[in-house]
Amino acid sequence: MWKRACVLAALACVALGGPASASEGATHPPAQDWEFNGLFGTFDLASAQRGLQVYEQICHACHSLNHVAYRHLGELGFNEDEVAAIAANYQLSDGPDENGEMFDRPAEGSDFFVPFFANEEAARAGNGGAYPPDLSLIVKARSGGADYIYAFLTGFEEPPDGEELPAGRYWNEYFPGHQLAMPNILDVNTVEYTDGTEPTHAQMAWDVTNFLAWAAEPQMMERKQMGLKVVLFLLVFTALMYAVKRKVWANVHH
């Protein structure tokens, strides 16, 4: 079962690593009501935490998150002990030690997400020559952003009348060209959510998309909060400067 999951996850990398434009030869993804959109948008932390489970149990077997550190999970609402426990599930190579030897150790909060494959060559060898794209910025890199990622993950269906699919090919409404070698991976792999949420196909797609949107910009909420404070400061400053101007020029006759 584990090997089968890895193979299916490997096929997923080809699909998510396709052309950056999601519109060429594909249906335009419908807009979704993401909580992180807009000036005052915030991440749905509960959904993103569930998305982390989907990534770890399904996506990690193929895709890396090279630009996200475990300590960043504190922005998702995990405390230090929880972050340390999540990181400790993974082993990485470190060193050299005092004897000049490399050694393996559990990952720590300061480490970046440990990839499934040790290097690019191993990743290509395990995926039929294809190099699985890193998912750290996939939401920013794909035209349509989160809308495309969610649409792609939920876009598998039977081909329309008149369309013949070669053996081993699947139909996705939102993938450029529609035909791909990846099956509906969220239908053949499920996770058991720790919060009791039912792991339906649509729910897992929604949650992992939320997680990947967070991964692309873990400090988004902090940035928006700082921007709001700056705007409020400038409004107050402008009002004060206007009051000073009126006071200074009050006795000047024109």
User: Does position 7 have pLDDT exceeding 50, yes or no?
Assistant: no
Predicted pLDDT of residue 137: 94
Q: What is the pLDDT of residues 136-171, one digit of tens each?
A: 999 999 889 999 999 999 999 988 888 888 887 889
User: Does position 108 have pLDDT exceeding 90, yes or no?
Assistant: yes
Using CA atoms, how far apart are residues 12 and 58, in angstroms rounded to an integer? 10
User: Does position 59 have pLDDT exceeding 60, yes or no?
Assistant: yes
CA angle (7, 9, 10) in 5-degree steps: 65
What count of other Cβ atoms lies within 10 Å of the Cβ of residue 42? 13
- Weakest mean pLDDT among 3-12, 125-134, 226-235: 3-12
Region 2-68+112-218: CATH code:
1.10.760.10
Where does 102-144 have alpha helices with state H?
120-125, 138-141
Domain locations along the chain: 2-68+112-218, 219-254
Using CA atoms, how far apart are residues 107 and 86, in angstroms rounded to an integer? 9
What's the length of the chain? 254
Q: What is the pLDDT of residues 75-93, one digit of tens each?
A: 999 999 999 999 999 999 8
- Weakest mean pLDDT among 23-27, 42-46, 96-100, 190-194: 23-27
- DSSP string spanning 171-204? EBTTSTTSEES---HHHH-----TT-----HHHH
Averaged pLDDT for residues 197-216 = 96
Q: Which of 21, 22, 14 is nearest to 131 (CA)?
A: 14
Predicted pLDDT of residue 202: 95
Using CA atoms, how far apart are residues 16 and 148, in angstroms rounded to an integer? 10
